[in-house]
A and B are shown apart, each in its own frame.
Chain A
Amino acid sequence: MFSKILIANRGEIAVRVIKTCRRLGIATVVVYSEADADSLAVQMADESVFIGPPPAAQSYLDADKIIAAARQTGAEAIHPGFGFLSEKASFAQRCQDEGITFIGPNPHAIEAMGDKITSKKFAAAAGVSTVPGYMGLIEGVDNAVSISGEIGYPVMIKASAGGGGKGIRVAWSEADVREGFPAVQAEARGAFGDDRIFIEKFITSPRHIEIQVLGDKHGHVVHLFERECSIQRRNQKVVEEAPSPLLDPETRAAMGAQAVALAKAVNYDSAGTVEFVAGQDKSFYFLEMNTRLQVEHPVTELITGLDLVEQMIRVAAGEPLAFGQDDLKINGWAIESRIYAEDPYRKFLPSIGRLVRYEPPREGLTEEGYLVRNDAGVVEGDEISMFYDPMISKLCTWGPSRAAAVAGMARALEDFHIEGPGHNVPFLAAVMDQERFQSGRLATSYIADEFPDGFTGLAPRSEQLDLMTAVAACMHRTLAARAQTAGAGLTPRKMRDDWVVVVGEDVRRKVVLSDGEGALNVDLPDEDRALRLEGVDWRPGRPVFRGVLDGRPFSAEVAPAPEGFVIRHRAAKARVLVLAPLSAELHERLPKKAAADTSKQIVSPMPGLVVALEVRPGQEVKEGETVVIIEAMKMQNVIKAERDGVVKAVGPKAGDSVAADEVLVEFA
């Protein structure tokens, strides 16, 4: 076994590997860029080595610096994590040549599987079912168009070296290919330095199901069942789970057998993942093999009880697998939600910045019977920087059944409080609350199907209206009682107990408050029922309100508003007022104020750099035409006109930095 391992990665995965190493008594070294100097990983590792400026190409992707760091610290092995150098065969080879163990598969396996075209040839040879497609090199746009025609639309255009959602597009027509092919090529060149592209059949309403495999250096390969990762946005996984609600034992066994066969065909000797696209009819086709640890590996760990990082380290050290296929069983169900720094209310645009507040749910088995695991590489006060992946953490829950794991995830998300960058917690909560998700009817188009117009939150359900009513009443009572402590004799002897609670724009209800033993009773006289709020864990100024309403534990995000409170429970958010009856009457007397007319402006949805400004004053613009291209988080975001109009004024110039909500273009 190794005595010291270098981790050639950052963020949560670096922390993840350190945790396992600590448990195994292995010393750790992390490398870090300037942007990560104060990171959690650097603080947790036994040693750390500075390797350069923030851009990955000059730090985490620089093999020379990483090898030198290993030499300098005497690390015997390198764990590459995922991304960066993890799937570079040349790096694995380099490690071998330098006498450092690469904790991952052998270079030949990476080479064979790393290229999507070669990998399909291997897969076909190993008897793995594959999607119809063209595996040769594509000469140019015209060639791409004719190949797409032969395969039949829709087709998928994919960068050979792509991954992680980058360098992929779906084309439904020749025009899409003509637009998409050069774009994918450009992205591939920029992101991977490799612009080879392939095209294949696009399966409608497909699901993404992948098999985790594990091999050792002694020819043993097992599979650790499947994960379903169908909840994706722009081909980026958002929610993953294990096992998959689609599979039956036979399909699972068949997929597992194919994955193992493929792994054996390339002498696979580490943890890896064979990705399949599955039809709703349980047909499945090989997509690609990822020759590394996957982001979503924790769900497999939660249902198998194995530590995949530990297994990778053991097999890298030459140990044979300590178990065979028959020893492996699925225990319960696990879900992972990727918490991203992105703004779900603004078309999921990336959002960076300081984590002003970061309060994740407590980890471990809860009293409610679900288990929480949160893999993160950040603490409150850290910066989500523009240089790397905008993932804040990976929140996993486990329960004995899928329903329990889903309910647990919904609860764990309630307890996740983040301030600073925008984040997708409310969106994830919405998914958990959807009947379609709960019943497991998944597809990679899920998000597009369910949120066709983007995400605006969900309207509060009746039990959420109750929750908001009780929470607001409780906060109001606490604050009103305290406000009177500064009084000078004019305070009424008894505080009123009948109030009108207004939730959002439409709901107003009378409440009568009274103390129950350790609880607040909220009578709803007009509805002839009462709510009981107990176990309150909140004080003024705290952004999270925890309590138990009618026996059901909950957490809600609360914030003071100029009047009343803003309360968010899961995906529902509303302003809630607690008013004396006369005040409630006056509130009704005032007409609603019309919102400011912003339809004549296009504002920047995020902070970024203006790459191109495609209109000038006086120009006529049609709805859907590109107006501005803004680069943020290394993604080019095309801002299109949402209506026809004549441009009156243009704010920034190309090359300018713009802030979120800055006016880009004004229409006459």
Chain B
Amino acid sequence: MQHILEELQKRRDQARQGGGERRIAAQHAKGKLTARERIELLLDEGSFEEFDMFVEHRATEFGMAEQRIPGDGVVTGWGAINGRVVYVFSKDFTVFGGSLSMAHAQKIVKVQRMAAKVGAPVIGLFDAGGARIQEGVDSLAGYADIFVENVLSSGVIPQISVIMGPCAGGDVYSPAMTDFIFMVKDTSYMYVTGPDVVRTVTNEEVSHEDLGGARVHAGKSGVADGAFENDLEALTQIRRLVDFLPASNREKPPVRESFDDPERDEPSLDTLVPANPNKPYDMKELILKVVDEADFFEISKDWARNIITGFARMDGATVGVVANQPQVLAGVLDIDASRKAARFVRFCDAFQIPIVTFVDVPGFMPGTRQEYGGLIKHGAKLLFAYTEATVPKVTVITRKAYGGAYDVMSSKHLRGDVNYAWPTAEIAVMGAKGAVEIIFRADAKDPAKLAEREAEYKARFANPFVAASRGYIDDVIMPHGTRRRIVRALKSLKNKQVSNPWKKHDNIPL
């Protein structure tokens, strides 16, 4: 009997060795942790339970029959993050470069299905060299099996991808269909075709980093939702993110004890909006001063910075925050900002996370680049997402809410539940200057008269009271009391129930 137990221990030890000491040392030298080390840091200490440790591939071509390593290049299983169950797969670059075989794919599919069944998030840690070429079409079939689970689980359980090494070709599409992608700076890259192919096809010379590094995807393409300095920071931050999220769409987002007074006033918010309407200010200051403990997990921080999205808590309960950022492009809505916010709003709606929106928007971005790029349809995504969302929606207009963008930013008209405005709000079709130039075209050559008209227009419309008199704004609130008011509004909306008409699914302008 003892002998049998020893045999198990021996096999386990062998499996845990992955690709062997030499490859593990090489992995460390590149500034990367191994697949198992990453899981240890991601999950609560000692909570990981591995599945399929002894799975091996069944390929025989090209001498593969002689090369079998238990686990076959991916470590899978489940464990806990702060006591809550999550499913994990972590590609092992030390085993066949983490390349995907049919057996490897089936291991991933198994955790995906388990997670969907029990309603728990799936976290994938990527560090791999693509398809196992020796397996041919079996490998491609394996990819597709994973894709199917990604799609079926979308909106059911949170799916998070962390790119911690190479991720190219077929490997990129599974992360692409998950809710969030994070990358590690300098050690990870992601692209459909690599620099060699790029050179052959387009004669472009480009490095891995410049083609698909963390900075590219987190700052330029918007493919990644964030980039971290190293594996350690990335895994710590994923834990932080998971703490905000519900385990599935079947449960409400988690509530935890807050150390922050829900009634806390912030007197300095009364001076946040500058006297000069053209002067920018930092919307993040408002977010950090309003949410619990100044704890804000920003999504897509470095891309489309004219809009801010991220998770926070109000009196212990998770909310999604969307806010225009007057500091970047005056907070204008452009293609990227609309896409970024729309996707975020839909995530929140899918997972029952209430949405708090802070508005200071001068309108949509004009120009050929925007129109040629399809601003109409991209802008419509945000309009669509806010409208269809049935979660509690609380909106605070701090300054500008002009034109169509006013409508879009979670206005009363799009089924906003509680809509507040600060006394500094200007809710109008456009700024005073532009408005009088159109209305009083006859006075165009008389600057004195035009200035007079502008002042008139300002006095009449550059305030929240016209909108409030129509009931489009529920109340005009003191900036310093914003936290208290939002907490109260969210509590009042806790049991909100609205359902959209039955449909197979909607047809959002993709």
Chain A interface (Cβ within 8 Å of chain B)? Answer: 37-38, 354-356, 358, 379-383, 478, 482-492, 496, 539-541, 560, 562-563, 580, 582-583, 586-587, 589-591, 593
Contact = CB atoms under 8 A, between A and B. Distances in A.
B257 A485 contact: yes
Contacts of B434: none
B268 A380 contact: yes
Contacts, number: 115
A175 B507 CA distance: 76
A4 to B, nearest CB: 29
A586 B228 contact: no
B37 interface: yes
A38 B275 CA distance: 10
A539 B259 CA distance: 6
B326 to A, nearest CB: 13
B229 A487 contact: no
B117 interface: no
Nearest to A590: B31
7 interchain residue pairs of minimum CB distance: A487-B83, A541-B293, A381-B268, A491-B83, A490-B80, A381-B271, A539-B259
B47 interface: yes
A483 B256 CA distance: 8
Nearest to A381: B268
Contacts of B254: 486
B84 interface: yes
A490 B85 contact: yes
Which of A381, A489, A492 gathers the greatest number of chain B CB atoms within 10 Å?
A381
B31 A37 contact: no
Given A486-B82, A486-B255, A492-B44, A590 B231 contact: yes
Contacts of A491: 44, 80, 82-83
B8 interface: no
Interface string B239-252: 00001000100000
Interface residues of B, number: 49
Interface string B208-239: 00000000000000000000111111001100
A381 B231 contact: no
A562 B233 contact: yes
B295 interface: yes
Interface of B: 28-29, 31-33, 37, 40-41, 44-47, 80, 82-85, 186, 228-233, 236-237, 243, 247, 254-257, 259-260, 267-272, 274-275, 281-282, 285, 292-295
- Scoring A38, A485, A490, A492 by chain B CB atoms within 10 A of each residue's CB, the highest score goes to A490
A586 B232 contact: yes
B327 to A, nearest CB: 11
Contacts of A591: 28-29, 31
A490 B256 CA distance: 16
A482 B257 contact: yes
Contacts of A582: 40, 45
B259 A540 contact: yes
A382 B271 contact: yes
Contacts of A589: 28, 33, 37
Contacts of B295: 540-541, 560
19 contacts: A354-B281, A356-B268, A356-B285, A382-B271, A383-B274, A482-B259, A484-B83, A485-B256, A485-B257, A486-B83, A488-B84, A490-B47, A491-B44, A491-B82, A562-B237, A586-B232, A590-B32, A590-B33, A591-B28
Nearest to A496: B45
Contacts of B260: 539-541
B236 A562 contact: yes
Contacts of A485: 256-257
Among A356, A489, A560, A586, chain B packs the most CB atoms within 10 A around the CB of: A586
A586 B83 CA distance: 22
A496 B46 CA distance: 12
Given A486-B83, A591-B28, A593-B31, A541 B232 contact: no
Given A381-B269, A586-B41, A482 B256 contact: yes
A492 B43 CA distance: 13
B371 to A, nearest CB: 29
B46, B82, B275, B281: which has the most chain A beta carbons within 10 Å? B82
A337 B332 CA distance: 43
A540 B167 CA distance: 37
Nearest to B231: A590
A580 B45 contact: yes
A587 B274 CA distance: 45
Nearest to A589: B28
B21 to A, nearest CB: 13
Contacts of A563: 232-233, 236-237
Given A37-B275, A540-B259, A540-B295, A488 B236 contact: no
B2 to A, nearest CB: 28
A587 B46 CA distance: 17
B31 A490 contact: no
A379 B255 CA distance: 35
B82 to A, nearest CB: 4
A358 B266 CA distance: 12
Contacts of B83: 484, 486-491
Contacts of A354: 281-282, 285
A225 to B, nearest CB: 40
Contact of B33 (A383, A487, A586, A593): A586
A478 to B, nearest CB: 8
A376 B41 CA distance: 47
Given A38-B271, A586-B37, A593-B230, A486 B44 contact: no
A593 B292 CA distance: 33
A593 B270 contact: no
A58 B291 CA distance: 42
Contact of B228 (A483, A562, A590): A562
Given A490-B80, A562-B237, A586-B232, 13 more contacts: A38-B271, A383-B274, A483-B256, A486-B254, A486-B255, A487-B82, A487-B83, A490-B83, A541-B292, A562-B228, A586-B37, A591-B28, A591-B31
* Central interface residue in A380, A382, A580, A590, by most chain B CB within 10 Å: A590
B393 to A, nearest CB: 24
A589 B257 CA distance: 35
A491 B83 CA distance: 4
A486 B245 CA distance: 11
Q: Which of A355, A478, A563 has the most CB of B within 10 A?
A: A563
Nearest to A541: B293
A587 B38 CA distance: 11
Nearest to A559: B294
B28 A541 contact: no
A486 B268 contact: no
Interface-centre pick from B186, B232, B274 (highest chain A CB count, 10 A): B232
Given A483-B243, A491-B83, A541 B31 contact: no
A263 to B, nearest CB: 43
B232 A587 contact: yes
Contacts of A486: 82-84, 243, 254-256
Nearest to A577: B232
A25 B285 CA distance: 40
Contacts of B186: 593
A354 B232 CA distance: 34
A493 to B, nearest CB: 11
A608 B186 CA distance: 32
A583 B259 contact: no
A478 B269 CA distance: 29
A2 to B, nearest CB: 33
Given A381-B267, A488-B85, A583 B41 contact: yes
A539 B261 CA distance: 11
B218 to A, nearest CB: 14
A381 B33 contact: no
Contacts of B45: 492, 496, 580, 582
B318 to A, nearest CB: 10
Given A381-B269, A486-B82, A490-B83, A541 B259 contact: yes
A355 B274 CA distance: 13
Contacts of B292: 541
